[in-house]
Amino acid sequence: MTFHRISLGNTVFEGANNAYLFDGEATVLLDTGVAVLDTRAELETGLREQAVEFTDLDAIVLTHYHADHAGLAGEIQAESGATVHAHAADAPLIAHDQDAWTDLETRQRRLFADWGMPSDAREELLEFLDTGEGMGIYGESVDVTPFEDGDHLSFGDLALEVRHAPGHTAGLSCFVPADAPDEVYTGDALLPEYTPNVGGADVRLEGALSAYVETLEALIEADYSCAWPGHRDPIDDPAGRARYILTHHEERAYRVANVLADTGPADAWTISARLFGDLTDIHILHGPGEAYAHLEHLREHGAVTADRETGGADSDAASIHYRLTDDGRAQLESPTDDRWPLSDAVR
Return all residues near 299 (Cβ < 8 A) that are at least 6 apart.
305, 306, 322
Closest CA to 198 of 103, 286, 113, 266: 286
pLDDT for residue 6 is more than 80: yes
How many H-runs (helices) and E-runs (strands) does the chain carry? 11, 13
The predicted-structure confidence for 28-41, as pLDDT tens digits, reads as follows 999 999 998 999 99
Residue 134's pLDDT is 43
pLDDT for residue 315 is more than 50: no
The predicted-structure confidence for 221-257, as pLDDT tens digits, reads as follows 999 999 999 999 999 999 999 999 999 999 999 999 9
pLDDT for residue 281 is more than 90: no
**2-96+136-243 belongs to CATH 3.40.50.720:** no
Count of residues in the chain: 347
Confidence grade of residue 131 (pLDDT, cut at 50, 70, 90): low
pLDDT for residue 214 is more than 70: yes
Beta bridge partners of 59: 28, 83
Rounded Cα–Cα distance for residues 331 and 173 (Å):
34
pLDDT for residue 179 is more than 50: yes
In the Cβ-directed half-sphere of 13, how many Cα atoms lie within 13 Å? 27
CATH number belonging to domain 249-346 = 1.10.10.10
Map out the domains of the chain as residue ranges.
Answer: 2-96+136-243, 249-346
H or E stretch covering 144: strand 144-147
Beta carbons of 230 and 187 less than 8 angstroms apart: yes
pLDDT for residue 140 is more than 80: yes
Q: Compute the radius of gyration of the chain from its Cα atoms.
A: 21
